[in-house]
Amino acid sequence: MIQRRTTANRKLSMYGFDLVSGSHNFFALLEFDITDLRTILRERRIIGEGGSLFAFMLKAIGRCLEEFPEFNSMIDIRKTTSFDEVDISIPIEVRRDGEIHNKQYVIRNVNAKSLKEITGEIDSSKHDEEDGKGLVFTAAGQRLIDALPGKLVLWFFRFLLKSHARVKKLSGTVFVTSVSMFSNAPGFIIPFAGGPKAAAFAIGSAVKKPVVKDDEIVIREMINITAIFNHDLIDGAPAARFINRFRRYLEKDFDRLM
C-alpha cells in the first residue's frame, strides 16, 4: 500500500465540486454529423487557413451564446447577469517539474477571434507556467489553499461566487471540456457542472459509424456532445432552440464561422 498526501491541485478540485453540488441542471445527450465539417477543416489546414475541430466547436458555441444571450448569463438568488462577451473556460494539461498538472484557461471574447487564432491560443496556453487569472490558480495560491482549513477555503470561494463579474474574470462565462484532446473512445461525458453559469458543454470524440442518410445506410463521422443547462435560468424550449442552432452550425452552416 502506498499513501501520499493529497495535492493542492486535487484539493482545489474537491472544493470546487463541493461548491456546485446540488445544482439544478438538466442534460441533453447529442449526436451530430460532422463529416462535411471535418472535410472543410482539413482542406483549409492544407492552405494554412484552418483550425482544429475543438477550436471550431468553441467558435460555434460562442456564436450560439451570442445569438441566445440568456445562455451567456449567471444567476443567484438575488440577481441575474448577462454578458456581452463570451469567455470560454477550458481545462488543459501542462507539464511542470516533470509532472502533469491540470489548469484552467479562459479564451476571452471568442467571437472576435478566428479559428486559427483560437487554435494557436490553445496550443500556446499549454506552455504557460502561470496564466494570470487570479491568485487561486497560481502556485502560490494553491499552496495557501493547501494550508488553510477546508471550511475557510469554501467560505472564500462562496465569497468569490457572489460577484458574477469576478466569476467571469476567473473562469469565464461558460465551461467547455473535451475528451477528444486526450482520447478517441466513443461515448458521452457527463461532467460535474454547476454554479451560477447558465450552460456548460462536454465534447466527446469523433468516430466513424453507420447512420441512415437519405434512406441509405452510410458511414459518417459522428460526434457526441453533452449540453448541461442550469434550470434556474434555462427552460426546455429555449434549450431546444439553442441546440437546433448549434446543430445547424456543425452540420450545414459551418462556412459562416470560418
For 13-24, the pLDDT digits (tens) are: 777 767 766 678
Domain 25-137+160-257 has CATH 3.30.70.20: no
pTM of the model: 0.85
What pLDDT sits at residue 132?
A: 43
* pLDDT-flagged residues of the chain (< 50): 131-135
What pLDDT sits at residue 134?
A: 44
**Exposure letters 27-42 (e unless 16+ CB within 10 A, then b):** ebebebbbbebeeebe
What pLDDT sits at residue 83?
A: 97
Question: Per-residue pLDDT tens for 144-200?
Answer: 777 778 788 887 877 777 899 999 998 899 999 988 666 667 778 887 777 889 999
| Phi, psi dihedral angles at 91 (to 5 degrees) | -90, 140
In this structure, what C-alpha cell is assigned to residue 8?
493542492
